[in-house]
């Protein structure tokens, strides 16, 4: 299952004093030439999605320089992408211990807390990141997402609006605003937000998908809904929920054959038991079983 809110993580791209996400790095020991090759190789593996190999390279750098905070942050991100949030949080915490003003590490640990469902802890970390870097748009966006997960829509939208004020072309913040407005039952505002996200990033499959949901459920506009699901699938051919939602839209408006095909495709792609059970029930209804 995909998480609804995109969470913004920050990898420290090192050779090795530069940190991503902007801003001057806080004082930290400078790397020695001995660890630079390991960090560089780790970053290459990370960008290729080869997270296990990245971890091995970062671990070797840590053996040589256990006091170098950014490499813990990078290894934490690799663990994060493997779904090992406990180890990710341990590495982010170590980075913070070594470098207390490391705002990226607070943001990244907060993101791990979100994935673990610990929203109050996440909000505390994002707040600390904002204290350290008041113009940190990513932390505002992430904190806004955490508030919305808790059902605190007004606080969430205030943070998301601040993220957009700081970074007017912030695609993910517009997308997250759209999700928040959906949660508030304000489909018109949500569509405006998704429209803006798509304007800024025409290949944003999730924005098409969620706009399609609104057209299907709130707007009663099946043609527009299906067009958006079609686009989401064109952009991400294995987007399981887009097949599921398009199948339900076909079912709702009487195209039985296409509904069966889409729900069957969803079952081919998804391993989520809850959603699979619902899809199987819809298929039984469509087949008259």
Tens of pLDDT, residue by residue over 39-80, are: 999 999 999 999 999 999 999 999 999 999 999 999 999 999
User: Can you say whether the dihedral through the CA atoms of 238, 241, 247, 250 is positive or negative?
Assistant: negative
Domains 1-129 and 134-197 share a fold: yes
For the cut 80, the answer to whether the pLDDT of residue 15 exceeds it is no
**pLDDT tens figures, 112-160:** 999 999 999 999 999 999 999 999 999 999 999 999 999 999 999 999 9
How far apart are alpha carbons 287 and 283 in whole angstroms?
6
Nearest to residue 51, comparing CAs of 91, 6, 106?
A: 91
- CATH classification for the domain delimited by 202-289, as one of 3.40.50.300, 1.10.10.10, 1.25.40.10, 3.40.50.970: 1.25.40.10
Per-residue pLDDT tens over the stretch 196-229: 999 999 999 999 999 999 999 876 788 999 999 9
Task: Give me the residue spans of the domains in the chain.
Answer: 1-129, 134-197, 202-289
Query: What is d(CA 226, CA 206) in angstroms, rounded to the nearest whole number?
Result: 14
Q: Of the candidates 5, 2, 83, 84, which has an alpha carbon nearest to the alpha carbon of residue 269?
A: 2
Cβ proximity of 171 and 200 under 8 Å: yes
Cα angle vertex 42, ends 37, 47, to 5°? 130
Q: What H or E segment, with its residue span, contains residue 172?
A: helix 171-183
For residue 243, what pLDDT is reported? 97
pLDDT in the model for residue 186: 94
Is 14's pLDDT higher than 60?
no
Domain 1-129 has CATH 1.25.40.10: yes
pLDDT mean across residues, the chain: 89
CATH 1.10.3720.10 fits 134-197, yes or no: no
Residues 38 and 64: beta-carbon distance below 8 Å:
yes
Reported as a single tens digit per residue, the pLDDT across 172-192 is 999 999 999 999 999 999 999
Task: Return the number of other C-beta atoms located less than 10 Å from residue 283's C-beta.
Answer: 18
Report the distance separating Cα 141 and Cα 211, nearest Å. Answer: 20
Enumerate residues 6+ apart whose C-beta is below 8 A from 42: 53, 54, 55, 56, 57, 58, 61, 71, 74, 75, 78
Distances 272 to 112, 275, 278, 279 between C-alpha atoms, Å: 21, 6, 10, 11
> Tokens 């949500």 belong to which residue?
190
∠ CA(123), CA(88), CA(61), 5° rounding? 130
């Amino acid at each position: 299952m995909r998480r609804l809110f995109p969470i913004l993580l920050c990898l420290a791209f090192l050779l090795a004093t530069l940190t991503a996400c902007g801003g001057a790095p806080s004082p930290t020991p400078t790397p020695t030439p001995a660890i630079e090759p390991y960090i560089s190789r780790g970053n290459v593996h990370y960008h290729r999605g080869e997270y296990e190999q990245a971890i091995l390279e970062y671990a070797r750098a840590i053996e040589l320089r256990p006091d170098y905070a950014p490499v813990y942050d990078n290894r934490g991100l690799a663990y994060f992408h493997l779904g090992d949030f406990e180890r990710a949080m341990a590495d982010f915490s170590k980075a913070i211990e070594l470098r207390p003003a490391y705002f990226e590490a607070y943001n990244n640990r907060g993101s791990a807390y979100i994935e673990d469902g610990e929203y109050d802890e996440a909000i505390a970390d994002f707040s600390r990141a904002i204290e350290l870097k008041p113009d940190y748009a990513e932390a505002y966006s992430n904190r806004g997402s955490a508030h919305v997960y808790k059902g605190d829509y007004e606080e969430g939208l205030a943070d998301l609006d601040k993220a957009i004020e700081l970074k007017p072309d912030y695609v993910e913040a517009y997308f997250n605003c759209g999700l928040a407005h959906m949660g508030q039952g304000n489909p018109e505002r949500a569509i405006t937000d998704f429209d803006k996200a798509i304007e800024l990033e025409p290949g944003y499959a999730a924005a098409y998908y969620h706009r399609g949901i609104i057209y299907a459920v709130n707007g009663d506009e099946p043609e527009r809904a299906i067009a958006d699901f079609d686009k989401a699938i064109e952009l991400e051919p294995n987007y399981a929920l887009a097949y599921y939602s398009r199948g339900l839209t076909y079912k709702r408006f009487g195209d039985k054959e296409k509904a069966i095909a889409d729900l069957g495709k969803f079952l081919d792609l998804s391993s989520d038991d809850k959603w699979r059970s619902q899809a199987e029930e819809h298929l039984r209804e469509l087949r008259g079983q």
